[in-house]
Amino acid sequence: MREDEWNDTEFCKQLLSNYKNDPDPHKTDSIPLEQLARELGIELQNDCEQ
């Protein structure tokens, strides 16, 4: 494994560990994409409509 790959792997392991050890009870809460877009003032477009 190259050094940069090892560094990436260690970084990802640390992120996962931080997430697992985060005591925030709302860390797994989710909201619909549409609600997030509204809260951020982003207009979603459906380019699939004909």
| 30-44 per-position pLDDT tens digit | 999 999 999 999 999
pLDDT of residue 20: 95
Which residues of the chain have a pLDDT value below 50? none
- Write out the H or E segment, with its range, that includes residue 5: helix 3-21
Predicted confidence at residue 40, as pLDDT, reads: 97
CB atoms within 10 A of CB 38: 13
pLDDT at 13: 96
Q: What is the pLDDT of residue 14?
A: 96
pTM to 2 decimals?
0.52
Q: Element (H or E) spanning 14, and its range?
A: helix 3-21
pLDDT at 50: 57
